[in-house]
Each structure stands twice: as structure tokens, then as C-alpha cells.
A = this chain, B = another copy of it.
């Protein structure tokens, strides 16, 4: 059983009707809805929970964390962001969705600003599988068509990825590296760009498949103390 914790800041859905119409129970519940299975158990956490729902105990019991945030990145205390960073470096998998590019844990793990360009004009997006043999691309055809998504554009200020799985192309000719893999410490990280709060993107079967694939991919086979810097003996 892979133990997933979905963190969603859960602000838009409570404060904006057009978002609530798309995700009436919150984005976290939409993610939980399609992820839960015989092999995957899902807990959720939001800003409304004590310690953002991300206590040491919760992280110790988490194999893969999924993160969605947008308006309230700064509401996550530094201490909790660093706790998530540490858990990832010690082996926990992590999937950052859409505007989570600007979340504190992702920026800590990347070491870079993670900035980009953006506009909201209802462009279509095609998310192209540039690495069809990658575990996260399994079951996806040449591209995923999204009739309307927020347009993200390059340059995306992240480190050169270990593997590029998807690149998105938009109506206006913009491009964005939209599916990126990183190994950091003992943990695996996947960034995936689709998932704007006003679009029903997380109900698209191929998007669900990618996120599910990423959960399996990020599920740790090894955990350890990546911070240990031991004085050793001559072998």
C-alpha cells in the first residue's frame, strides 16, 4: 500500500464561486477521489489543519506527498516547509502540481526561484510526451489535449531536470517544460504543470493517469538519513 498525503492550501475553493463550481469539495478531494485504490491510500491536509496537517507523524507515515497551492504559499510556516524538504531528502516522494512551482518546499528543494511567465486567456494546451518510455508517461498517447489551461511560459527558473517527460505547447505558441523529474537526496520529485483552479483539469482521465503513474514512480524503495555526515575510519 502506497501512503499518499495530498496537501492543498484550500483557499480558492472556499472563497471563489467559479472555483468551487469546479472543485466543490476542494482540489485535494478531487485528487483523493481518483487516486484511492487497493494499492494507494490517501490522506489530505490543508491550511485549515493544525500545522497544515503536516506533523512529523503524518510525514513519517507518508510515502508520497502531493502539493497544490497558489494564493497562500506564505501561509505555510518556514518550519513546516523545511520539514517537508527534509522528509523528501530522506526518501519521501513528492509531486508538485501547477502553481505549486512557487510553493516553499519546491523552491527549497530546487534552490532556485522557480519563476516563469503566465497569462490566462483560455488557450488550449497540448502536453507532449517527449519521453514515451518513462514510467510516468505510460498509457499516454502522443499528447494530452486540454481545451483550456492557464498558459505557463519559459524561462522556468528550475535546475536542468534529471529527466524531461512532458513539454506543453499552447495556442499562442508558448512552450513550457511541464513534466520534470528530479532526484534530490534519497527522494524523487515530479513537477507537473497542468491543474489551474478554474479548469476541470484534474477530472481529465489522462491527467489522472499521469499523477497516478507519478505516485508509483516516486514511491520510495530506500529511506535513510541524508543529513548524516559521519566521521569514518580508514577502511
Chain A residues near B (Cβ < 8 Å) = 85, 89, 91, 102, 108-113, 115-119, 121, 123-126, 128-133, 135, 138, 142-143, 145, 151, 153-157, 159-160, 162-164, 167-175, 177, 182-187, 220-222, 224, 226-235
Contact status A173-B235, CB under 8 Å: yes
Copies in the complex: 4
Taking A115-B226, A135-B221, A162-B162 as given, write out 11 further A-B residue pairs in contact, using a Cβ cutoff of 8 Å, ordered by the A residue number. A108-B111, A112-B185, A113-B227, A117-B230, A118-B231, A130-B175, A130-B177, A131-B155, A133-B220, A157-B185, A169-B174
Residues of B within 8 A of A135 (CB): 221
What residue in chain B is nearest A118 (Cβ atoms)?
B231
Residues of B within 8 A of A226 (CB): 112-113, 115, 157
What residue in chain B is nearest A155 (Cβ atoms)?
B130
- Distance A111 CA – B82 CA, assembled complex (angstroms): 10
- Distance A118 CA – B142 CA, assembled complex (angstroms): 13
Contact partner of A110 (CB less than 8 A), chosen from B111, B170, B222, B224, is: B111
CB distance from A112 to the nearest CB of B (A): 5
Contact status B132-A224, CB under 8 Å: yes
Contact status B175-A175, CB under 8 Å: yes
Residues of B within 8 A of A156 (CB): 130
Residues of B within 8 A of A233 (CB): 119
Closest 4 CB pairs of A and B: A115-B229, A111-B111, A126-B173, A133-B186
- Scoring A121, A125, A138, A183 by chain B CB atoms within 10 A of each residue's CB, the highest score goes to A183
Contact status A89-B113, CB under 8 Å: yes
What residue in chain B is nearest A124 (Cβ atoms)?
B173
What residue in chain B is nearest A187 (Cβ atoms)?
B133
Contact status B160-A128, CB under 8 Å: no
Contact status B113-A129, CB under 8 Å: no
- Distance A146 CA – B89 CA, assembled complex (angstroms): 31
Contact partner of A155 (CB less than 8 A), chosen from B113, B132, B162, B221, is: B132
